[in-house]
Structure 1
């Protein structure tokens, strides 16, 4: 017996109907029933089905010498493999095969139409596959979400499974990831921090919500990794856009997945509430990149994701030896495409370090009041997110909890008054108690995640003090510090000094986050 989602769930095709028909047929013909094999929810285009594998194992063990199905399509809809089983495998193993509705019996020689019936069955599967793909594409073009699970940070709308709602439990984690990435923190560092806070990964959180506990899987989990962080940072769904159609199956008979070119993805903008702004999404994407370890070089570019070519606006990357005195910042456009993209201009890495340090040293002379003002401005970028959404979600869960408790109380009264039958009462009570458990788990998870997101956030005043200390020690400020004070740095093509023709003038513009001067030139 076999039934796939594509075959429908009507009574004429159900597993129970097939079972009744086949048992009745076996009884009428005096066949002893050794066992039943039912693949419920499996497509006939594949023979990778648990019950089918069990049947083959019993045939190999010589426990079965007769196989009966309702029709040939229940065996499968791949006409090549179905023909191999009916024409080669079954006869070789001495197994008789009967398809009741198709009038097929391998003991009879008048089965010439069976191969054609197998082709028709496959054509049906092919046609169904086309219709399903067309329907799914129409949904994607309308911006309807067709995935099995909502992306981490979202949940499916109970009233419309194709619409996404912000998940108050995980959305704060997503925001925290983007904000840290926008400050230049590498994915590996963010992943390590989330693991230290014991925040559930997207996969473990999904199992937690569905209450699927697999101790072996949990024991083998690696936790957060840089690849998970990068996947989140590159997903436009968090800006409110619906991006789908990234992959496709090779064919309806193959499970092989092919990647679709980015320009062919189906993108529908502003289909749901955004977790992060588009500006934050772009900043995080360009400033937080996975960094590979280098055995030969210990050099770390403190300006990674900060320095841009003033002429073509592309990012500038470092080149040269392992020592900073040999390092230069060059335009990536010229580096990759030559003069067709930009000009050959560069800047010495050490020189830029000196310029930036000199500019930032102005903070050393700030009064206590001025330092607090700068810290307050930094707080707007680092800690400016409210928790009103989380509070509303918690209040909603508590409200639903009270509603269920009242419903359960009324349910017991209806049971006593015999308004509700015992069987119905037990089913309803079990359902409501299960929902209460889920609500309790969600409330606990919300407390855990909200508390953990707020940990280890450096105070703005401490950030200013840390910068001042590093400058006093004649150190180049760390990358995370630079990203908190500086939005970007632009370096322009050098030009000759009109007063001293042997010298070159390079224009450097520093754009600050706080209310320091908007630009500086050196």
Structure 2
């Protein structure tokens, strides 16, 4: 038997947690300890070193570990040396399987230096090994629980905990848990939303961006050396814009300032496969960062995406009335058809249900006549909105807003009362702990809760005061919808952008009757009612005087 009886592999593992909290577990120190051990054992020769740097011990699909097992299966290695048992792994069952079945099956000697484990001297199945394996498993579970809890708290506080940012944002230099706008890609995102509102399909938008040489989100992040997802469907060197990428951006609420986190998770700390969580479990934080897209435009795009957005044959533009034209009889979406007679081309809409399906709608309606009718109705509605705004401005603003102002003032007073109560509770909290009424742990819990409630109330008071000021200065957000229509004053031609912005649906009730539901129809009717009440109140006051 030769002096060097064992061909050994030095296996070194370092997790991220260890790297941050325990310098003694560094790769260099593990290597030094193993080398020192081998020097004192002339029967062992180190022929290989495998290092898993930044890999958790709970899973055994680590790259260096698998390479080591390949060498063992090939018969090149018959001894494995680690600093301690936890370096091999922290899963109790899997670690035991390697020690009791796999290593013995290949005639491999296992040595864990600091734990005094050497399977040449014992079977590796004693009580010490079992207890240490259980402790390592419990440690991993404890770390997982603490990590998940810490991330949950950060998410609830509106902190960004993701490794990769959404295209259009970057992590703030001052606070890594906050997102800030990345100017160039944010401009691309705004352009994508604009093109969609102008009636372009997702495929056409992708083609436009590719033709302009705009880097796709993945290519942009790689080009700038930014963190990016790996292993995804688009993780390839020549990743280009696609309709799928465009739709994903158009549906991402992050661009409105809303932080959405916790969309995915794992079943437990021993499984790494991600599962999608139901939307009810997502963590939502409003106004967590600066918005790239106005909420109004985002909501409009979502409505457009839900509509039938078919394009005309040979065209990349979405049809003018696509998704908004409805049969007033059966409620089906109207279908566009084309007829040719001699050298002329005629476009018309009809209900696909037909008389055979029980629909009594008119056979067809010409697109040209429909367009003219809708255009005139839109122009009349825009004039009505402008006139309504003028009436609201000329009416007694105090009479109109007094009720709302009183509600806002009452809520502010209520919040201030709660804030004062919290101040009183906080002032006696420490004294209660000193007197033994509450424990130190309860003191910390109550103090954190009072601080959180106080911050929430302060923010609510600030928002309410701002709304009250806007109301008194005639800048209430409730009237911003009027500006939405007034942007189209002077309208002379109907296009897809106008239809998408201003119309919710057009019902064909008959050959000469349409029923148009405009966007913000409810706000319009409420404003009409409020205007009538204000004028009546003003008239009543005048009569009494």
Measured after TM superposition, the shift of residue 221 of structure 1 is 2.7
Query: Aligned residues, how many?
Result: 377
1:155 paired residue number:
170
For the pair shown, the structure with the greater C-alpha radius of gyration is: 2
Q: Which has the higher contact order (CA 8 A, sep 6+)?
A: 1
| Corresponding residue SS for 1:12 | helix
2:371 paired residue number:
357
Is residue 279 of structure 2 the alignment partner of residue 262 of structure 1? yes
1:13 paired residue number:
25
The correspondence for 2:212, drawn from 197, 200, 213, is: 197
Measured after TM superposition, the shift of residue 291 of structure 1 is 7.2
Is residue 110 of structure 2 the alignment partner of residue 103 of structure 1? no
Q: Matched residues in 2 for 1:512 and 1:504: separation?
A: 24
Note the alpha carbon deviations across 1:426-467, whole angstroms, 9 max, x for none.
xxxxxxxxxxxxxxxxxxxxxxxxxxxxxxxxxx9xxx99x6
Structure 1 residues 126 and 504: CA distance shift in structure 2, 3 A: same
Measured after TM superposition, the shift of residue 260 of structure 1 is 1.1
| 8 Å Cα contact 1:247/1:259 also seen in 2 | yes
Measured after TM superposition, the shift of residue 120 of structure 1 is 1.8
Structure 1 residues 195 and 348: CA distance shift in structure 2, 3 A: farther
Measured after TM superposition, the shift of residue 218 of structure 1 is 8.7
| Corresponding residue SS for 1:138 | helix
Compute the RMSD of aligned alpha carbons: 4.1
| 8 Å Cα contact 1:175/1:276 also seen in 2 | yes
Task: Note the residue ranges of structure 2 that are not aligned, 5 or more in a row.
Answer: 1-11, 339-346, 378-486, 526-545
Q: Matched residues in 1 for 2:224 and 2:307: separation?
A: 30
Q: Matched residues in 2 for 1:262 and 1:282: separation?
A: 18
- Structure 1 window deviating more from structure 2 (106-115 vs 266-275): it is 106-115
Measured after TM superposition, the shift of residue 34 of structure 1 is 0.8
| 8 Å Cα contact 2:195/2:205 also seen in 1 | yes
1:272 paired residue number:
289
The correspondence for 1:187, drawn from 184, 202, 224, is: 202
Structure 1 residues 201 and 320: CA distance shift in structure 2, 3 A: closer
Measured after TM superposition, the shift of residue 361 of structure 1 is 7.5
1:283 paired residue number:
300
The correspondence for 1:231, drawn from 240, 245, 248, is: 248
Is residue 351 of structure 2 the alignment partner of residue 328 of structure 1? yes
Structure 1 residues 491 and 304: CA distance shift in structure 2, 3 A: closer
Measured after TM superposition, the shift of residue 191 of structure 1 is 1.0
| 8 Å Cα contact 1:4/1:43 also seen in 2 | yes
Measured after TM superposition, the shift of residue 183 of structure 1 is 2.8
1:4 paired residue number:
15
Q: Matched residues in 2 for 1:269 and 1:346: separation?
A: 47
TM-score by length of 2: 0.61
| 8 Å Cα contact 1:70/1:99 also seen in 2 | yes
Q: Matched residues in 2 for 1:328 and 1:309: separation?
A: 6
TM-score by length of 1: 0.63
1:87 paired residue number:
100
Structure 1 residues 50 and 219: CA distance shift in structure 2, 3 A: closer
Is residue 84 of structure 2 the alignment partner of residue 71 of structure 1? yes
Is residue 322 of structure 2 the alignment partner of residue 304 of structure 1? yes
1:451 paired residue number:
none
Q: Matched residues in 2 for 1:351 and 1:98: separation?
A: 85
| 8 Å Cα contact 1:37/1:51 also seen in 2 | yes
Q: Matched residues in 2 for 1:236 and 1:489: separation?
A: 21
| 8 Å Cα contact 1:238/1:275 also seen in 2 | yes
